[in-house]
Amino acid sequence: MMRRSVLALGIVWVTSTCAQVSPFTGKPVMPPHSSGSYRLLIGGHFHGASSSVSGYPAATVLASIGAMNATKANVFLSTGDLFMDPDRDSARYATAFFAPLQLPLFNAPGNHDLEGKAYGIGARMPVVIAMGKDRIILLDTERDDSSIKGDQLQLLSDLAARAEAEDVAHVFIVTHRPIWSEGDVRYAPLFEGNTRSLTGSNFKSDVLPVLRELARTASIHWISGSMAGRAPASIFFQPQEKNITFIQSAVRDRIQDALLIADVDPTGIRWSALSLSGSTMEPVETYDAAWWEARGTVKEEFHWRRMPYLIKKTVSYPVFWYGFGVAGLCVVLFRLLLRGRRRANDPSKS
């Protein structure tokens, strides 16, 4: 336990005392203004629609780089699935997105990001960014299938133990999977198509108690980015309990695409949205669970011409063949079991 604690403390010390540079844009994190104010720009799923095979970010993202730069955000946080295929697409991203982007971009790994080795995504997790006394924590929810364990859980626990003494006012936790929604009777149905665990996460049993301890003295905003393509908005914003708010932010290359902006100063946090299509946005707090429940999911038209592509895409995924192999093995075992029972019930074949 002592070794884990030292490891977590080491992560915080390194990231809060050294100038952090984005591994994507090469831009350094800008410290808060002398007044204590700073700005965060937040979004995710920048490759756009899951059917996109262009190798470039979503059109709405590329068209809005100027608007992103104009925010002059201290940090640009990606909630995962930055790439569709990192190894294939990284060169295109480097010239079309990262080069003109004048902000320090950091990414919490999504399932697509970990399908390649470009930029070493996932290898440097967890990441902690200190904004004055506040903390931004990027975690990898793919590592333990939605559970937060080991150094990642220890990091949160250590921060909860020190937060009051260090006068931490705000903590922003960024992940791809909204693990806070898994198994929740209200939130789970809203994100049916998102990436989730196979066996359940330890959020309620191990993580939530730590958050509640931390929330005694600091406000916590857990921001995720795995949202299915039929989501009615790019933003979900739901206060859960005192000092704990659950948020989703992701784009899908649709007219509704938007990014979140958090303006933080000693008086608190002011949230706003940056539309990537010029659409009029409601106040961020409008997009809560009730708003989502009232609108349901957006229906997607079926295009039969996409069938060859969808079939090819499905059979090209290793998980398809893993499932195919497991199903075949189950059939073989079932037939052997059935044959054994028949022989046991037929004395003539003994």
Q: What is the pLDDT of residues 287-317, one digit of tens each?
A: 999 999 998 765 544 444 445 645 655 665 5
* pLDDT confidence tier of residue 319, bands split at 50, 70 and 90: low
Nearest 5 degrees, angle CA 43-CA 44-CA 45? 150
Q: What is the pLDDT of residues 322-337, one digit of tens each?
A: 677 878 888 888 888 8
Q: What is the pLDDT of residues 126-150, one digit of tens each?
A: 999 999 999 999 999 999 999 999 9
Q: What is the mean pLDDT of the chain?
A: 87
**Residue 22, pLDDT score:** 97
Q: Which residues pair with 42 in a beta bridge?
A: 77, 260
Q: Is the pLDDT of residue 168 over 80?
A: yes
| CA–CA distance, 321 with 113 (Å, rounded to integer) | 21
Average of per-residue pLDDT across 27-46: 97
Backbone angles phi, psi at 339, to 5 degrees: -65, -40
